[in-house]
């Protein structure tokens, strides 16, 4: 596997959030401690994957759904995750280790699907999901502003089928960019999207996780970390 270690800046001090529960603080510490999150590798092909060791969670979604930005906030380490204004930036599976020294879990940033995705990235994704023994959760990111389309429903349908064969992981919807939707239309938007997902992918895990990773409004990051830690059996 091609190594992709990067020079990064870590948060200066880890400051416990007093509003979090005991397990919430444990999870915050896991993700925010100095040196805890590290870029491990980038795998552009199935042959370049590292052997499975730690429990893993995979992020997928349409190109531009906000995958890399959200992962960047979850990992709390500036510059660790590449984000781009240009859609289709992530073309490989990018692996990030959480927890030191030997790691507790791995977060994987996947290539985007849909209009700007590419068939070969789809093959990489499918092969990884079908064969990765350490995979515990697939998060499907839906942009709250754009709603749900046929590509999203196609992905959810496929995951629903695969999760039936492969019972070591579950899949769950994460709503991104909720800051971009007026509060009064958000509930309706979520209701419409939930109904569409429910019909297409009844095995989709509940609840939905609403998030905002914008510079001005950060929401749902602690819930995401807790969800990841639980899925990986860390707490």
Ligand X SMILES: Nc1nc2c(ncn2[C@@H]2O[C@H](COP(=O)(O)OP(=O)(O)O)[C@@H](O)[C@H]2O)c(=O)[nH]1
208 is written with which tokens? 């939905």
90 near Mg ion (CB under 5 A): yes
Closer residue to Mg ion, CB minimum distance, 55 or 88: 88
Indicate whether 176 belongs to the interface with Mg ion (CB under 5 A).
no
SS3 176: strand
Helix runs in the chain, H state only: 22-32, 67-75, 119-131, 150-165, 183-200, 221-231
List of residues contacting ligand X (CB under 6 A): 61, 63-69, 83-85, 89-90, 112, 176-177, 179-180, 212-214
**C-beta of 49 vs 175, nearer to ligand X:** 175
d(CA 130, CA 37): 26
As a whole number of angstroms, the distance between CA 35 and CA 37 comes to 6
Token pair of 67 as six digits = 């995958």
Please, what is the minimum distance in Å from the beta carbon of residue 217 to ligand X? 7
Q: Which is nearer to ligand X, 24 or 117 (CB)?
A: 117
First to last CA, the chain: 30
- Does 68 contact Mg ion by CB under 5 A? yes
Site string for Mg ion, 8-37 (x = CB under 5 A): ------------------------------
Residues at the contact surface with Mg ion, assessed by CB under 5 A: 67-68, 89-90
């Amino acid at each position: 596997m091609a190594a992709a270690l990067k020079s990064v800046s870590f948060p200066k001090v880890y400051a416990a959030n007093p509003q979090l529960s005991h397990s919430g603080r444990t999870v915050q510490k896991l993700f925010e401690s100095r040196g805890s999150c590290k870029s491990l590798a980038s795998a552009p092909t199935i042959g370049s994957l590292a052997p499975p060791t730690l429990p893993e969670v995979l992020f997928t979604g349409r190109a531009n759904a906000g995958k890399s930005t959200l992962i960047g906030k979850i990992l709390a380490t500036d510059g660790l995750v590449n984000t781009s204004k240009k859609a289709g930036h992530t073309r490989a599976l990018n692996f990030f280790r959480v927890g030191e020294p030997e790691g507790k879990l791995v977060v994987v940033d996947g290539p985007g699907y849909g209009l700007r995705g590419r068939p070969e990235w789809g093959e990489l994704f499918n092969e990884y999901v079908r064969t990765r023994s350490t995979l515990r959760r697939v998060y499907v990111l839906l942009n709250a502003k754009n709603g749900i389309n046929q590509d999203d429903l196609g992905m959810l349908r496929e995951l629903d089928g695969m999760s039936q064969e492969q019972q070591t992981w579950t899949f769950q919807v994460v709503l991104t960019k909720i800051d971009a939707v007026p509060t009064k239309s958000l509930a309706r938007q979520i209701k419409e999207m939930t109904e569409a997902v429910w019909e297409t992918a009844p095995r989709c895990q509940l609840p939905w996780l609403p998030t905002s990773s914008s510079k001005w409004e950060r929401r749902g990051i602690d819930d995401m970390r807790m969800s990841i830690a639980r899925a990986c059996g860390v707490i």
